Amino acid sequence: MNTIITILLTYIQIQQKIIVFLISFTIYKNTARKMDDKPVNKPYRKLQIDELPILELEKLDYRQLLVDYFLKHNKNLKPVKPHKNSKSIVPSNITCPKCSAPHIYLYDNTGGRGQYLCKVCRTTFNKKNRFSKSAVLRCPHCLHVLVKIKKRNEFDVYKCKNRKCSFYLNNLKSMSKQDRKEFKENPQDFKLHYIYRAFNFDYKPLSKESPILPKVDLSKLYCNTHTLGLILTFHVNYGMSARKTACIMKDIYGVNISHQTILNYCEAVATVVKPFIDNFNYSLSNSFCGDETYIKVNGKWQYIFFFFDAVKKIILSYRVSPNRDTLSAVKALDDVLSKLPSIPDDLTFVVDGNPIYLLAMHYFAQHDIHFNVEQVIGLTNDDPVSKELRPLKQIIERLNRTFKGNYRSTHGFQSNHGSISFVTLFAAYFNFLRPHSALEKRVPVIIPQLETLPHMPARWGKLIELSQEYIQNNQCA
């Protein structure tokens, strides 16, 4: 009996030591991990964009295929016979995209959910991709068919795998001895074959997002226009938080208003002025630069894509996105292109080393919209492009710092609507209300109706009035 008790006590002591070790290890692991509240800063991988491929339409004739089937099997290919009471009957207007076989030769593979199989040429397709099934992508250097090797969220990657392709051979020939040695050890670090990226989003041009209705109707505000102008001046112009703005309005002006009401007012004003900002007939130069900066929304880092006229000091794009991806870059560039009366032949955007802008340029080139992207890499001028265009990159960095000075007091936003509203109001203030030192203390966009007003609250009120008139005129039109 004593022996059993001794063994059990020994087991209990061992278990206790294991539990103490696991608890200590877990606590140490959590406390040892340094909590960094800064966004991750990683160098971009160098990206190379190749020219567009050759698009070849591959079409077969189902009648010739039926003849070939008869000669091979000595019998006719019978049409598809669907089961009785079946819901999988192919509509009569659907034909095979590759051989044009009629619906009687098509299987419904998914019971009415849209995928079909041609009995003649064995091609599978659906309503969305039936036209692309007839297209073949070929390498522009050797005319070999491109092979899809990767599928990304925004595009598919096609590659020419021909080892005798002139593009591949020239790249291989131009490698140094050190590069050849590294290529044998890590071939994935080198790009030698022709690569093409087929994007899976369309250009119409890109449709603008419908404005979300605010919580507050400006026509039913309890405060007058001057009070609203004061609130916007303190909160947007001087970058004061909503709580500090509420305290100033109460302590100095005797207006009792909550910080949430101030945020609601700002959201309502942003919804009204956004169409006016986005569709204003700007007089632009031919010098554009862009960059991303960080904001916090719901405790997570998001990105603002700023594009800027470096000469006229006008914000042309101010998109807020949860992702730093190609689609966000395409939309930001589209904001600029939509404000140009025509696209000049020498149009150039100066950006940082982020490869998404090269992919965006490649995307627009696929839709016959051509411009150039110049990348300023790093903080030192290690290449001629960076040395020449560094001043433009510094201009957009100063814009980021100006925004951060206004944004810092907010300590982030609780919703996407709040972040978009604040950035919209900042763009309105920067373009139409803020004097700029590089323009001899003039605002970037001069509106005569605003110049004659005595103070900033009145200018905010007039800007809101002009925005409302713009919306009404376009609704009537």
How do residues 298-337 score in pLDDT, each as one tens digit? 888 999 999 999 999 999 999 999 988 899 999 999 999 9
For residues 162 and 139, the answer to whether their CB atoms sit within 8 Å is: yes
Radius of gyration of the chain (CA): 31
Reading the block at residue 217, the tokens are 């109707």
- Please state the separation of Cα 127 from the chain's center in Å: 27
Residue 472 has pLDDT above 90, yes or no: no
Give Cβ neighbours of residue 417 (< 8 Å, ≥ 6 apart).
212, 267
CA distance 195 to 426: 41
In this prediction, residue 210 carries a pLDDT of 47
CA distance 255 to 223: 9
In this prediction, residue 177 carries a pLDDT of 86
276-476: CATH topology is: Nucleotidyltransferase; domain 5 (3.30.420)
> Which pTM does this prediction carry?
0.70
Nearest to 147 by CA among 134, 163, 131, 136: 136
For residues 361 and 392, the answer to whether their CB atoms sit within 8 Å is: no
CA distance 278 to 210: 13
Domain ranges of the chain: 54-134, 141-199, 276-476
In this prediction, residue 255 carries a pLDDT of 87
Residue 477 has pLDDT above 70, yes or no: no
The amino acid at 160: C
pLDDT tens for 238-276 read 999 999 999 999 999 888 999 999 998 999 899 999 999
In this predicted model, which residue has the larger pLDDT, 210 or 97?
97
389 pLDDT tier (thresholds 50, 70, 90): confident
pLDDT tens for 201-215 read 665 555 455 454 555
Q: What angle do CA 138, 139, 140 make, to 5 degrees?
A: 110
Q: What angle do CA 194, 348, 51 make, to 5 degrees?
A: 15
In this prediction, residue 391 carries a pLDDT of 86
pLDDT tens for 141-153 read 998 888 888 888 7
pLDDT mean across residues, the chain: 83
Q: At what angle do helices 456-476 and 416-432 cross, to 10 degrees?
A: 110
